[in-house]
Amino acid sequence: MKIVGLKTNERKIFGLHILYSIIEGVLFGVMVLNEFVFVKSLKGTEMQLAILFQASVIVFVFTIVIHELLKRYKKKTILRMTALITRLPLLLMIFFPRELLSADDMIFYHYFFLVIFLFYFLAMPIVYPIINSILKNNYTNSHFGALYSYAAMTNKIVMMLTTFVFGWILDIDPFSFVYVYPAIGILGIISLFLLSFAVKVDYLQTGKKILSITESLRKSFRDMKTIIKSNKPYRDFELGFMLYGFSFMLTIAVITLFLVEKLNLNYTSIAFYKNSYNLIAILLLPFFGKLIDRIDPRKFAAFTFLTLLMHLFFMGLTEYYPYYFDIGAYRFYYLVVISFAWNGLFAATMSLLWNIGSAYFCKDGDAGTYQSVHLSMVGIRAMIAPLFGIWLYQYIGFSGVFALGVLLLTLSIIVMFWSLKRDKLVA
């Protein structure tokens, strides 16, 4: 890997970015199978599964408020406190049972699991805007996408290896997670402490009146309204993203149930499918990292939404053409293989679009605010979509939910091209 013209500070920040990405890759690799642990090992219910997915993103509702708080408190301190508050609870998993108990006894552990991960997910609306701000203020525009893609590629390599090992361990002992989760909790604390060293200067609002919580809320929503009203391309981008996001969250829990209940896949096979799309993403990230710097992000978004559309389309067809072959412990469904190939394209493009897409619509100093608006919208759709998806599945089945997801993604693509035709990029 060689990028010409990197400044000294860019190299330093990139080094910390890579190290952070490696450690977080271990966490993400374990979390890839998190919902399957909940359903297969702990026998969590369908609605509880939806709540687990809901908790992972509903926390973003508070992002815009958190962004206001970040302006008044040192980011280094916030990152380190976040590390302790959100990652330490994972150590409590050591107290979970080593075997499946009665249904009544497992209910307690189901909700214990959900609470632990609610705390874990609380880190995201805090950490992501800080990362976005750090990178936007330290990487030049010409290197932004490329450097981010290399870090993301490294993250996915580590994640893929971790997922493979964790899946293999879970097939040997479905309750091995009681040791794995505490270990990644400690690693997660270390990764956020490392990220705190990338905060070069901690600017604080000084000489100004500290706003109350109520005033902060009002200001936050005024800022959100101003951004959405004044920047039409960004507004269109978020509208398309809302449609995509609703489709994604509508179907994500249903896909988990489809793989476990309909296809009856073991952990090893699930890990294979997850790794297959991550491998594709790893190979393509450098290309897409350079591409996103060169084209309008709305055009990039349209292609990204198309890849998820194809993923859902072939996943839905599998219910009608469930043909497969076995190799050892692995079960290969022909259409699921095609589906996850498209998911690999989706993973490569969305990892860029989701994390840095909003930064292309604003000036450097506004990156944190724009990303906060973006993540807040993620949280809003999380209030409805996962539970609605499970409810729909119970009435119209797997293919019905997948078909609705395809329809929403089609609309999101139309919005992107309509916006491209109407308005040029502002920033």
- Cα–Cα nearest to 163, from 346, 27, 351: 27
- Cα–Cα nearest to 330, from 274, 280, 271: 271
What per-residue confidence (pLDDT) applies to 427? 52
Residue 312 to residue 255: CA distance in whole angstroms: 9
Residue 311 to residue 211: CA distance in whole angstroms: 46
Res 206 pLDDT > 70: no
Q: Is residue 301 part of a domain?
A: yes
Provide the domain limits for residue 14: 8-201+212-422
Kindly report the backbone phi and psi dihedral angles of residue 363, in degrees, each rounded to the nearest multiple of 5, phi listed first.
Answer: -80, 165
Q: Is residue 172 part of a domain?
A: yes
Kindly report the backbone phi and psi dihedral angles of residue 176, in degrees, each rounded to the nearest multiple of 5, phi listed first.
Answer: -65, -15
Per-residue buried b or exposed e for 42-80, using 16+ beta carbons within 10 Å of the residue's own CB = bebebebbbbbbbbbbbbbbbbbbbbbebeeeebbebbb
Residue 112 to residue 92: CA distance in whole angstroms: 9
What pTM did the predictor assign? 0.79
- Cα–Cα nearest to 372, from 44, 25, 68, 38: 68
Q: Is residue 427 part of a domain?
A: no
- Cα–Cα nearest to 367, from 139, 120, 77: 139
Q: What is the dihedral of CA 368, 373, 378, 383, to 10 degrees?
A: 130
Res 141 pLDDT > 70: no
What per-residue confidence (pLDDT) applies to 131? 78
Q: Is residue 2 part of a domain?
A: no
Q: What percent of the chain has pLDDT over 70?
A: 88
Q: What digits encode the pLDDT tens for the residues 325-366?
A: 988 888 899 999 999 999 999 988 998 887 777 777 777 666
Q: What is the dihedral of CA 392, 394, 396, 402, to 10 degrees?
A: 60
- pLDDT band of 137, cuts 50, 70, 90: confident
Residue whose token pair is 């009203």: 229
Res 375 pLDDT > 60: yes
Q: Is residue 30 part of a domain?
A: yes
Lowest mean pLDDT among 38-42, 68-72, 112-116, 176-180: 68-72
Residue 15 to residue 349: CA distance in whole angstroms: 23
Q: Is residue 206 part of a domain?
A: no
Residue 356 to residue 271: CA distance in whole angstroms: 27
Residue 33 to residue 164: CA distance in whole angstroms: 10
Q: What is the mean pLDDT of the chain?
A: 85
Q: What digits encode the pLDDT tens for the residues 17-67?
A: 889 999 999 999 999 999 999 999 999 999 999 999 888 888 777 766 676
Q: What is the dihedral of CA 416, 420, 423, 427, to 10 degrees?
A: 80
Report residue 112 as tokens.
């214990």
Number of domains comprising the chain = 1
**246/153: higher pLDDT:** 246
- pLDDT band of 376, cuts 50, 70, 90: confident
Q: What is the 3-state secondary structure (H, E, C) of 157-192?
A: HHHHHHHHHHHHHHHHCCCCHHHHHHHHHHHHHHHH
What per-residue confidence (pLDDT) applies to 38? 94
**285/82: higher pLDDT:** 82
Q: Is residue 283 part of a domain?
A: yes
Q: Give the mean pLDDT of 82-93.
A: 94
CATH number of the domain that 333 lies in?
1.20.1250.20
Q: Is residue 104 part of a domain?
A: yes
Residue 265 to residue 88: CA distance in whole angstroms: 32
